[in-house]
Structure 1
Amino acid sequence: MTQSPASPLPPPKERRRLRESTSLTQAQVAAKIGVTSETVRAWESGRSTPRGHKRETYAKFLASVEAEGPAPAAKAAAATTATATPVRSRRSVGRWDSAPLDQGQERGGGRVRAAAEAAGGESPGPAASPDDATKAFDRLYTYAAPGLLRQAYLLTGRRTLARESVERAFQLAWERWPEVAVDRDPAGWVRAAAYEYAMSPWHRLRPSHRHPEAPPADSDDRALLDVLLSLPSSYRRTLLLYDGVGLDLPETAAETEATTPAAAQRLLHAREAVAEQLPALAVPDQLHRRLTELAGAEKLQAPKSTLVRTDGERRTRFWTRSAIAFTVLIFGATALTVRTAPTRYEPVPAPGAVISGVPPRTGPGPLTQADKKLRDKLRKSAMSGPHRLAPEVD
């Protein structure tokens, strides 16, 4: 018996592009095919390949999207999702100044859409004009900055560094806005940049970081913050992303640049360290609640988006002019070197040859007895000679 050839599938990037062209989430596609959203994510990333009946169903879905266009496939998948599967509950929705920890991001897909809805506009995309880019950036900043500021405080335990990390992250996002605007998760892009800056080991060399800042007023908050800061930076970041922000384990592993098993081990060790010193937080839900309370206890105010953009542009202009000046300096030094350098080969003078038989040069020595007699004779004989000319006073 011969097996029928497997249905052809496009490359992983093309699968993701076809799904996004229909404005569907991975959960909606998974409901239509009969798998989980994690499976669809693995298919689109290339970590796994569908087989058997699921492969045929997935291939037909992608073919229908490519042939019929995004609208019919999107309506069909949306109808299937609405009738077959309930809406997945969010673990954490909202901002850190309220009860939840996350910035409107739910586990799984659709984070860009959630961010846009929270900001009061459409999903960020490539801006058609500078005004549109400014408005999109301001919406993203208004939505993500408050919660991100509290996350950076839990990472570092320093209010000034947390504020500086968020400002630098958004300045970098504004500098690379064409890239950030088309990203699937702009808030996640900024969060990763802020985390990297906040956890840089070079901050310990700054004079202002030689002394710790004032701890929280509440004793429980101080104890939890001390435990967090005692964890290794990778464990602290993994714990905050999973139990604080509410990301899935694969997303946490991707953002921390680790494998999923490594991220799981970091999470387990971090929970064990917290539970060892604070037994009341051994339950993940209690830990999530306490992280929320600790983040909301600090009244951290993010600067205005206009100020962040202005400072970022000023910094960019400064470094651009510095780079131009340095380039001109190098060019001038090179031109001067080329101008003054010899244009032909000049042989090096040969070293002098040693000549033998020449007596060494000596200076005047002490007078001998004969020399003294001759000197006295010459002095006496000078008196009998002609008179010396000497000026006379009139």
Structure 2
Amino acid sequence: MLENFSRATYVVVHDQELVNMLWTDGPNAAVAVLVSSWFTRGWTAAEFYSTRKKSNSVKILFKNPDDTLKPLIKDLDRDILSHPQQATTLVHFKASTILRGVRGDITDLRGLLQVLRTRSTSWDRDKMTIAGLMTLDQRTVDTSLSTPALTRSILLELLTVPKTSIFHNKVPMALEGCWSWCPPSIFDFDGSTFSRVRPNTAGGRQDPLLIHKDGSIGGSFTVYPVQLAYRDKVHPYSSHPALSYRILKALETPETCLILEIGGAATESAVTSGILVEPVVGHGIYVYCRYIGCVHVSFPAAIHASIPIKCTIGWNDRDKDNVPRPAINAQAILAGADGENQSDEPVAAGS
């Protein structure tokens, strides 16, 4: 259906609110479009997005000040949006930026959620379908797929996610292995976390995490071990009983736990955010981990020497017989990552 809009020479927006609004100028019109009910709908956002490759193709009807019986047709790009060479107000600039954002190419999870999370008058299932149509090849999108299946397809197309996005409070779509870090829907990623979690940027800009073809995820992390004396300072982020139990069960053996830092370093008066994992295979700075859950940490980071590692979550946490690998000692992993216990072969569970 969206191909009709992408191929059209012109797309005309005929909305009751807008066509009854008396045209005055571009700045007022831009704000009116932004706050209109038309802009809250998911399918109209998808149709609007489909026009992104053609400039001067979107026409919007307003009330004609000279002839109230004949609507006035205005071009979105030429008559309504702000332009760098023209003086404008901050409100006009902001409204134009948001409208242009919906028509821009979507290349990451943050951009997709910014467009669709505010579609307040759309059903959740429709928003998932629209997300697929906006990121995948529209000719191959199977709208009968389940929400987790569509989520996997979308994420594999995007290839990366912000590090803070995997800090969420949902039950993952898989208990172990690949996708064990991922919630069932892209809308379950805690979008507010993007701004609420204080990212650790001590080493510069935070790199995104790479999603592998099998659904495992990897990237660079600063990690901390969990010492027995401080395990009661690690708290589940989610209140879901299954997630809380999984985290508390893992903390019964803190020597096999690591915390992948998502937020800034914890202090006595500040809480940081992290991912609790169990290492199952390690070789130097490369560590393969089993996902446990998202946690808040309140113990002071100064008691530990934080160590940067390359961590992959969800891959190789089962052996060749598909049996879950037992977790291995985190201190041994960190010693190897810190160059104190390097070996030619990976440190593997059961070895």
Shorter-chain TM-score range:
under 0.3
Larger Rg: 1
Larger helix proportion of the pair? 1
Q: What is the TM-score when the length of structure 2 is the normalising length?
A: 0.28
Larger strand proportion of the pair? 2
